[in-house]
Homo-oligomer: A and B are copies of this chain.
Amino acid sequence: MRTVIECVPNISEGRDAARVEEIAAAVRAVPAAHLLGVSSDASHNRSVLTLVGDAAGVAAAVRALFAAALSRIDLTRHAGEHPRMGAVDVVPFIPIRGATVEQCVALSREVGAEIAERFGVPVYLYEDSATSERRRNLAEIRKGEFEGLAEKMRLPEWKPDFGPDRPHPTGGVVAVGARAPLIAYNINLGTRDVAVADRIAKAIRHIGGGFRYVKAMGVELADRGLVQVSINMTNYKKTPLHRVFECVRSEAERHGVAVVGSEIVGLTPAEALFAAAEHYLRLENFAPEQALEMKLLELGE
């Protein structure tokens, strides 16, 4: 597979496992895409699918996903803790290998137009695909949720990018867009004082004056007697893991606290780890294709 695009659609069903599996099976049946995982949350009543393929493969998988989800999820009967606006709530396209953000933006427009046309679901382009600054932010689009959509969509500034000016009666609306890969990265600190984790989270996150592509908060790990700086790395190429790790280490030291470990939750592009090795080993002239497995993928294996 020369081109690898990741797609992580969120659907508004996380309680009925049989129904989630039916929807997953429809995606799995698409030969040009690979469903890597499905993770459901009952209290959120929401599931996250992780799939990869080339542009045509992920587009076909998203079509199959909509067909399966719209006939099985009815938002007029949906309740859950997580804010939501659609049966398929959000569809991000993420360039992993051999694809650029720009290509994923183009793909999100094509897929968005097709979904609107074929299924009558209004589509908002978000993140890097957004047509206005306000629509970049998923939370802004989602404000009011499914129940408030009919009214919100009457406002000229909330006319969707594709599809009808009113929500699909049971499927709501969907946000489709391109974004950089996100890495869920946590750093554990050797203290029970969550105030230390909070203070460091504030120091490293963008809104507090920290790194441009870091969102962070302090969390207690009561069972381990530790606290954690829980981080979303929204662009590991521009804000790499090792830079954030070293900054957290330095800030923790100032509080007399040690970094006891870190963890990557779920998937990461291999290059995020290569970049850390490159940094600490001071590698010169390193190319990711020196990793045999990357070369194999490039060959289309």
Contacts and interface: CB of A to CB of B under 8 A. Distances in A.
A270 interface: yes
A292 B261 contact: no
A164 B278 CA distance: 49
B284 A263 contact: yes
Task: Describe A's contact surface by its main secondary structure.
Answer: mixed
A213 to B, nearest CB: 17
A299 interface: yes
Interface string A62-101: 0000000000000000000000000000000000110000
B52 A281 contact: no
A301 interface: yes
Question: Which bucket holds chain A's interface residue count?
Answer: 35 or more
A27 to B, nearest CB: 14
30 contacts: A4-B296, A34-B296, A34-B301, A36-B292, A36-B295, A52-B292, A96-B292, A188-B284, A241-B281, A242-B280, A245-B280, A259-B282, A261-B283, A262-B281, A262-B283, A262-B284, A263-B283, A267-B292, A267-B295, A268-B292, A269-B292, A270-B270, A270-B291, A273-B274, A273-B278, A274-B277, A276-B277, A277-B280, A279-B280, A280-B280
Interface of A: 1, 4, 6, 34, 36, 52, 96-97, 188, 241-242, 245, 259-264, 266-270, 273-274, 276-286, 290-297, 299, 301
